[in-house]
Amino acid sequence: MPWKAIGIFDSGVGGLTVLKEIIKALPQEDTIYFGDTARFPYGTKSPETIIRYSLEIASFLVKRDIKLLVVACNTASAVSLEALTKKLSIPVVGVIEPGARRAVSTTRSRKVGVIGTEGTIRSSAYTKAIKRLNPDVEVITQACPLFVPLVEEGWIDNEVARLASRTYLTGLREEKADTLVLGCTHYPLLKEIIAEVMGTGVRLVDSAEETASTVADILRSGGMLRPSSEKGNHHYFVTDVPAGFIRIGKRLMGGELGDVHQVSVEEPVMNEEMADDGS
């Protein structure tokens, strides 16, 4: 069992920040990353569809003999975690719960800010998770739709990023949250600018870091860790042409990715019978 790989999936490239933290925490482990780039983004799709996609990907990874599955996608974590846990006999870890737990244990003022994509914020997944852990914690949310494109453009320390951060975060600052959850896998790359705008009194919770540390805890307590003298191998699968994934992936990982393999996906067919002709 210790020799099996850790499986990680995301709707696209963003989950690589979680993979990066897992490799940092557990360099001895093999990993298999699956980015469903052809069907990205999940945020606009129905729960039924997201659950089906998640189960398909999980089955692909389980066939490659993983010992633990990380759902490194906020949308899929919010929607599919229960279905995956029911279906699989290996541990399944999402990105929301670890971030929420750390936020609750960190805050002193009991005011927690959460930033994420529009889809994540609209789902209230972090708010619900935090409230489940401690109903007395007040949660203030803010969608920051420009942060993902800023990171993908590599604009993480210029004036545009600084000004966008100020525009998004001023409200959270004024509300005096003392803890801020980076509720999107892309956001850790903007950590420095976000910290600068929020000021020294505010603690940032990096969901990617917290998720990696949860993975380490589970493997350790289950006796599933490889010896720390080992060095892990890392494989990547994507569902669309790998070029874009590799280009942005290098930015997120801060270095080369190694081999990225494209997995074929059957294309959708328009079902015209079901069209509403609008007349």
Q: How far apart are CA 263 and CA 260, in angstroms?
A: 10
Q: Is 184 part of the annotated catalytic residue set?
A: yes
Does the footprint of its own copies cover residue 9 (CB under 8 A)? Answer: no
Q: How far apart are CA 214 and CA 156, in angstroms?
A: 27
What is the dihedral sign for C-alpha 32, 33, 39, 45? positive
Active-site annotation holder among 16, 95, 182, 184: 184
Q: State how far the alpha carbon of 199 is from the alpha carbons of 109, 178, 190, 209, in Å.
A: 15, 10, 14, 21
Site track for its own copies across 118-147, x = CB under 8 A: ---------------------------xx-
Does the footprint of its own copies cover residue 160 (CB under 8 A)? Answer: yes
Binders of its own copies among residues 24 to 53 (CB under 8 A) are: 32, 37-39, 44-46, 49, 52
Two structure tokens written together for 185: 């896998």
Does the footprint of its own copies cover residue 159 (CB under 8 A)? Answer: yes
| 138 vs 240 by CB, closer to its own copies | 240
Does the footprint of its own copies cover residue 196 (CB under 8 A)? Answer: no
| 59 vs 228 by CB, closer to its own copies | 59
**Residue whose token pair is 């789902």:** 123
Q: How far apart are CA 224 and CA 218, in angstroms?
A: 8
Does the footprint of its own copies cover residue 275 (CB under 8 A)? Answer: yes
Q: Which of 79, 150, 169, 190 binds its own copies (CB under 8 A)?
A: 150
Does the footprint of its own copies cover residue 153 (CB under 8 A)? Answer: yes
Query: What is the rounded radius of gyration, in angstroms, for the C-alpha atoms of the chain?
Result: 19
Rounded to a whole number of angstroms, the minimum distance from the CB of residue 162 to its own copies is: 9
Does the footprint of its own copies cover residue 105 (CB under 8 A)? Answer: no
Strands 234-238 and 260-262: parallel
Length of the chain: 279
| 63 vs 86 by CB, closer to its own copies | 63
Count of residues engaged in binding its own copies, rule: CB under 8 A? 55
Q: How far apart are CA 65 and CA 30, in angstroms?
A: 11
Beta bridge partners of 7: 32, 69
Q: Is 220 helix (H, G, I), strand (E, B) or coil?
A: helix
Q: Which of 25, 62, 218, 263 binds its own copies (CB under 8 A)?
A: 263
Q: How far apart are CA 203 and CA 215, in angstroms?
A: 22
So which residues are the catalytic ones? 73, 184
Which residue ranges make up the site for its own copies (CB under 8 A)?
32, 37-39, 44-46, 49, 52, 56-57, 59-60, 63-64, 145-146, 148-150, 152-153, 155, 158-160, 163-164, 167, 235-237, 239-241, 244, 259, 261-272, 274-279
